[in-house]
Structures are given as structure tokens and as C-alpha cells.
Structure 1
Amino acid sequence: MAMNAEDYKRGALLGLAWGDVLGCPVEGWREHEIEAVYGLYQALPERYPLSAISEKRRRKLRPLGLHSDDTQQAMALIQVCQSQDGWNDTKWKEILVQGVERESWRGVGRNFVQSVRKMAKGKDVKKTGSPSAGMGAAMRVGPAGALYPENRELRLRVALESSLSTHSDVRAAVFSAVVASSVAGLIQGNSPKEVLKEVPYYAEEAEALVAVLEEEGWVIQNRGSTLISEGLRTAYQWADQPLDTMRQHISDFARPHLQKGFTRAHPNQGFVLLGGLHALLMACRSDAEPNQTLYRIIQLGFDTDTVCAIAGSILGARFGTDWIPFDRLLDQAIGDYADALVSGSVPETVEVFLQREAEWTREERAFQREIRQF
């Protein structure tokens, strides 16, 4: 395994992208569906076994190796943070809106769409977040820990503001900050056990800054909630329990806080206290082997790509990049963005970035049209 901080920084994005790509083929599937088609899912398929996949699932397949919105938004965050003047919430708003206008984004969730529509209508980005405690912010924020491993205040501000723009629930924003700070801690040389002991304090720091952001005009749902920091004081101890026990603890902890519409407290569901916490604990287990960790997550089904994107970013910061099969990523430009985490300069303009993503989106749609004819 690689043993230098630069490689761990690169891993924060490449691990995220690989987790995203690896989980995409079965995104939204249930455990029994994955097993019926792939048996024990332990690799990115070389090709889709189309005859074994139901028509319902075939409709949403994307080219194997193509990343989704998890990786796209992480690269967009790097674009903004590495621009000439650094992080700025207005520039973040602009790149999200421009991405929608150019049809660049792929597989985006309802909350993201609603928020960006408000931005496009001219609403202040501080007031556009949807009242969601989902993982749509945590999935993209790991690289902020690689950008600012030493600058705690800026790292927290970037994580919180970028999150609140689309997910205004304090739990989503604070958990995003926990992910970024966990990545930073690993890059700084802390062990996974040390990082897990620190996560309640990462959350407390974020909760304190949320109060400042509210004074600055950010609209925040469930403001004052300390659920993340309080929960993590216990949850970090679950990481090295047997997998089934750890996952049962996660489900039991999250169940009283589920939003209306959740059918079950499954550890891969899109709530930060389910999929987000599952990703964090899986990536920090003492017995974690990076690819096996991602396979174990995917085998459970549900929000496979997003949970694996979060876990992959943390695993990349922990193990570097040697474990990531970079050749399986269709878009090799992701490597340039990983290099930007080290060099401090973006590899291309925003215009070129969004245009390339729009081209990949068109390729995905063409692929899906072809699949429908199968």
C-alpha cells in the first residue's frame, strides 16, 4: 500500500469515484436481486448479463465504469475550491445551475433538483436547501478533507455551506463535516481508531459553526439538534463488533428518527444515520480491506453507489490508491482532479468540465436507449 500523504489525498477522490462506479450497476436493487443476477457481488462486471436482469432494472443501467452524480459533484466542489479566489458559495451555486442547464448531471436526487431549481430562479443560495437529512451532501464532500487537512475552520465551512445549499437539515450538514474531517484526520496520519474516537468532536465543532452560519443568514432545519454528535459518542464503538451486530445497532439507532416514507431502517438507506453512518463505520473497521469492504456494502443493496462513494473516499484517505483499478473508470479525467488535490490547481475550466460531463450524459442516454431494445 502507498505510504505518503499525497497518495492519501488522491485516494480521497479516486476511492470515492471507484465506490460510486462499483455500486452503480446495482443501485436501488434489493439484496435478493443482486444475488440472483451476480451471486456474491465481488467485482465490477466486465459486461452486463442482460438476460438475467429484469426490464425494470435494465432501464436505469449506465455504461460500466461511468461515474454518477456522487463523483460529478465531488469534482465540481474541487473546481470551486481550487479556483483563483477559493471557496465561495456563489460560485458553488453557479456551477450547480450551469450543470443543470447543460444537462451535465446524472442520476441526481429529488432534493438536489428542487434546490437547484430555486437557485436557477435567483434565490439566495443560503435559502435553497431542501429539508432533507439524506446523504446527497456527504457523498461529495470527502475531498474537502484532502483540500484542507490542516485548515479546520475552512474545511468545516466548505463542508457545511456546500451541504446546506442542497440539504438544509442540520443532521445532513453536520454529518458531511464529519466525513470531511475523518478524511482529513486519516491524511494527517491518525489511525482509523483514533479518527473514530474523534468523530463526536468533529460533529460538535460543526454544530457550533452551524449556529454562526444561521446568524449569517443560512436557513437551517432542525437547528440546535445535536443528534449527530450525541449519537457518535456511542456509535464509534460499534465499528469492530461483528458485522451483523454493528448493522443492527445502526438500524436501531436510526429508526426513531426516520422521515415519513421510509419503509425500514436498512443500513444502506439514504438517511445519514443509516447509509452515512454505515459507510463511516465500515471504512474505519480494523479488519477493513478496501475492496472487500465495498463489496460487503454493495451486497446489501439499496443506495449502493452513494454509500460506497462515502466509504470509498474514507478508504482512499486511509489506504491510498494502490487498491483502486483506475483503468476501470471510463472517465480518466477523474485522475486529473485527484492530482489537483495535491497540486492545488484545477485541470480545466468549468466550461470544459461541464461540457465533458454533458457528453458522458449523452453517452449514458444512448446506452440506455440501446438497452431498451434488448
Structure 2
Amino acid sequence: MPGFDQLDRSRLRERPGAKWQRYGPDVLPLWVADMDFEPPPAVLRAIEDQMATGDLGYSMKPSPSPVAAAFASWMSRRHGWEVDPHDVMLTQDVIQALQTSIHLFSEPGGGVAIQTPIYPPFLASVTAMGRRLVDNPLRRGADGYELDVAGLRASLEAEPCSILLLCNPHNPTGRVFTIDELSSLAALAEEFDLTVISDEIHADLVFPGSTHTPFATLPGAAERTVTLNSATKSFNIAGLRCAVAHVSSGRLRDRFRSLPDHIFGGVNVFGARATEAVWTEGSQWLEGLMGHLLRMRELVVAGVGEFLPGAEIAAPEATYLSWIDCRGMDLPVEPSRFFLKEAGVALNPGPDFGSGGRGHVRLNFATSADIVTEAFGRIARALP
């Protein structure tokens, strides 16, 4: 298996997935949150082992499932969180579980609090399901983005809500919220009787200097928390469609049990086998990945400072995504449009992440150093 910095660009362009096929052959795609690396060998072995059985029929459904048991073991080893596998439900992806949770724990027209900028499907899910978006924008501080706890309190007092959507580690800013920040949210959730839906899909992609705290580990928080997670981001297997929802509260779990039996569909057998495999034996591969991503993060921060005059960036504390403020660059059009048309570099448009995203872009640095370096070179040459 090639190293993380040894990517064959011609092979990347032959991939059928969205990242390399959405734009033309002359564009460097640093947009959607897929990595350019091959999945861990454990994934390929798991798929091959399943194929070798000759059985692609209906799967047995033991309780707890092997995926749930692997998740519990992984959380214990990686985050010190002791999870009962019986409290873990399987779902095809995080957004499916998020939308189901919105359906269960809010009413049409009800308020859902959210921190923007935020992963676009969060915004789309709230509005598509007929709920009212209560925006609690993150504040830009001296060292990066911060939760505006006082602002959230004011919003909750003005606009009743039943759900708080949390993304931690945060997409797109890369913040890893501190235990003090999370405790403040937990106190508000208790005071205003909110169900917290906590998307922690990037929990394993935290850089040195920060620590991920599962929201459900805060005192009393588990009774009102649905935690969503998946191996898809950490191990680059989004197409295998397997995620988990952790619900230890009997009250919340009863609501899930009130749903029709097949509303979550069935998890793909390959996704289940691959997820179990990486949560069982993926630690060494992940450590290698994080070492490479740390170098790419520093390359991006340096590139913004050197090649994007007027732009600002706070080094992400987690994820392989960087959130770049281009408002000071005086570009003639929306930044992502300019970078795509004039430089041949595809980035995510900031407005997709909410109103506070105007003038920003999201850049995916889960690729090789030469691709990141070329992207900044292209942008620098294209600047007016």
C-alpha cells in the first residue's frame, strides 16, 4: 500500500467517485470530505473475507451486533468512554439518524438550535423537515472560533427549542470544544429541556494539543443525548454506508423503538464488516494518517499566510478540513467561484455552511503535499 504522501494523480483521476469526477480533468479537487488515500488494509481484507464465504444474503442480527461491540471497545480504548453495546443502534449514515432524531424529538415548526457555520446537510435537514432554524453563530476570537454560550441562552429565551444540534469536532472550523464549553451547553440543555443530537464523526481525527470529550460523558448529559458516529471519515469508507447511534437513556430509546421496524433500512454487509474491522484493528493505520494530516495542516496554514494575502485561517484542532476567511482578499466574485474558474482549484463555498460563511471557503487537505502545494501555487498565480 502506498504511503500517504505517495499518490498517483493519474490513478486518482480514474476514480469513479464524486471527488475527482465532478469537475474537469484540469481541476484540483480539494472540496468534498473524502480523503485521497486508499482505505486501510483491514477494510480490503474484511470485504474479501465476506466475498470468500459466498454468502451475500440476509445477515444474522445478533444483539448486540459485532459493529456495536467494536464501537464500544473503540470508544473505551480511544476516548475512555465506557459504552454498553446494547445502547448502540446501527444506521446507514449519520444524516439518516440525525433526521430520524429530529422527527422524534421535535414537532413541525419547532425550534432546532444550531451553531453556524455548519455542515450543510444539518441546515438542509432542519428546513426540509419543517423545523425552525435557531442560529447560534460561533464567535471568532483571537485564537479561532468559540461557542457563544450567552448568545445561545438569549436565543433559547427568545425562541423556544426542543433540540440542540452539536457537531464536535466541528465541521467546518475544526474546533474541538473544551470540556468547559461542553459543560455550559449541557447546563443549558438541562435548563431548557433540550435533546442534544451530537455528531461526533470526526472524534478520531483530533490533533495533539486537543482532546475530544464525548458529550454523553458529561454529568447527567447521557439522559438527553443521542450520539452519532461512524468510521467513514476516519478510515475513508463513506461509500460503505454504516453508522451508529448511541442512546443510553431509556426514555429516548423508547422513542426510537416506537418507529417502524425498517425505518433505518438494513446496514450493508460490507459496510458492517469493514466498520467492525477498522474499529478492531485500525489504530496503527490511523496513527500514521494523523501524522500525515498534521503535516498537511501546517502546509495549509503556511500556504494561506504566504500565498493568500488578506486571508485568515485558524489551524484546525481536528478534521482534515480548513476554514479560510477570504473576505480581506478583495476578490471580484465569491471566493470558491474565483478559485475554480481562475485557478482550477475546487473548494467548498462558504455560504453553503450558513449566512456566516460568506467570503469563506472550506479546503480539504487529506491529500499529498505536492497537490496542496500546487493548489496554492495555482491560486497565487491567478490572483489579480
So what's the TM-score if we normalise by structure 2?
Answer: 0.31
More helix by share: 1
Greater C-alpha radius of gyration: 2
Tell me the TM-score normalized by structure 1. Answer: 0.31
Structure number with higher relative contact order (C-alpha < 8 Å, ≥ 6 residues apart): 1
